[in-house]
Amino acid sequence: MARAGRFAKGAARREAILSTATEVLARDGYRGTSLRAIARALDLEPAHILYYFDNREDLLQKVVERWDAEAIASIGGEPAPADTLDAYAELIRRNLEIPGLVHLYLIFAAEAAQPDHLAHQFFRDRFERVRRWLSVAIAFEQGAGLIDRAIDADRAARMLIAVADGVQLQALVDPGVDAPADLAATIAQLRGRTRAELAGHESRATRH
């Protein structure tokens, strides 16, 4: 029983550190989020944080993982194919409510290109998961006649990920950039272009 109590207390302290790190990121941004700043907010010594996390990078990676899991939970888990594309644009809006976390995500995503980076596998898995969600959604909308069947669903999914990450970076540099609106417009073009093409095909078929 005592061991279970210590485990529960340790898990609670770890969660408190993650929550506080997220708050400091939101307030001070990525560059201002040091172990000392997080420890000060918790009224702890920095060394105490290292009892639960290997180093600052390990802590920040866990923050990214927690943030990603909470984002998915905020839309009720993996969205239905009919809702995925619009939910993706809405998630970008949610992300930018905490720009420090978006900054952290983009920095880690770039650094994780190196195979020996501690977040490399996480980002490989995440990109694959998001690509799969978007690809399935695009294929669903192709079946519903909303998106041209000639479009490669996997390639279009990767392009949407690239647009989402790119416009979020631009929004960090220039807060006047409406990243969610830009992504929504890209999705609308994916659908709208097809509607115009289909209308043209129907018109030509009627004439013949």
106: which residues sit within 8 A by CB, 6+ positions away? 165, 168, 169, 172
Tens digit of each residue's pLDDT (9 = 90 or more) over 71-120: 888 777 778 999 999 999 988 888 888 888 999 999 999 999 999 988 89
Q: Is the pLDDT of residue 171 over 90?
A: yes
CB proximity list for 116: less than 8 A, separation 6 or greater: none
pLDDT-derived band at 189, boundaries 50, 70, 90: very high
Tell me the C-alpha distance between 111 and 109, whole Å: 6
The DSSP result for 126-191, as a single string, is HHHHHHHHHHHHHHHHHHTTSS-TTS-HHHHHHHHHHHHHHHHHHHHH-TT--HHHHHHHHHHHHH
Q: Give the percent of the chain with pLDDT over 90.
A: 55
The DSSP code sequence of 58-70 is HHHHHHHHHHHHH
Region of poorest pLDDT, from 1-5, 153-157, 189-193: 1-5
Q: Is the pLDDT of residue 205 over 50?
A: no
Please report the pLDDT score of residue 107 as a whole number.
92
User: Which of the pair, 138 or 2, is modelled with greater confidence?
Assistant: 138
What pTM value is reported for the model?
Answer: 0.81
Instruction: Calculate Rg over the CA atoms of the chain.
Output: 21
Q: Cα 150 to chain center, whole Å?
A: 28
Q: Looking at residues 46-50, what average pLDDT do you find? A: 89
Q: Above 50 in pLDDT, residue 195?
A: no
Q: What is the rounded CA–CA span in Å between residue 12 and residue 16?
A: 6
pLDDT tens-digit series, residues 123-168: 999 999 999 999 999 999 999 999 999 999 999 999 999 999 999 9
| pLDDT score recorded for residue 196 | 47
Between 179-207 and 153-173, two packed helices, what is the crossing angle to 10 degrees?
140
Structural domains in the chain, CATH included, are: 1-53 (1.10.10.60), 60-207 (1.10.357)
Between CA 14 and CA 169 the distance in angstroms is 30
Averaged pLDDT of the chain: 86
In this predicted structure, the answer to whether residue 20 has a pLDDT above a threshold of 70 is yes
pLDDT at 72: 82
pLDDT at 144: 95
Residue 24 has pLDDT above 80, yes or no: yes
Is the model's pLDDT at 208 over the cut of 50?
no
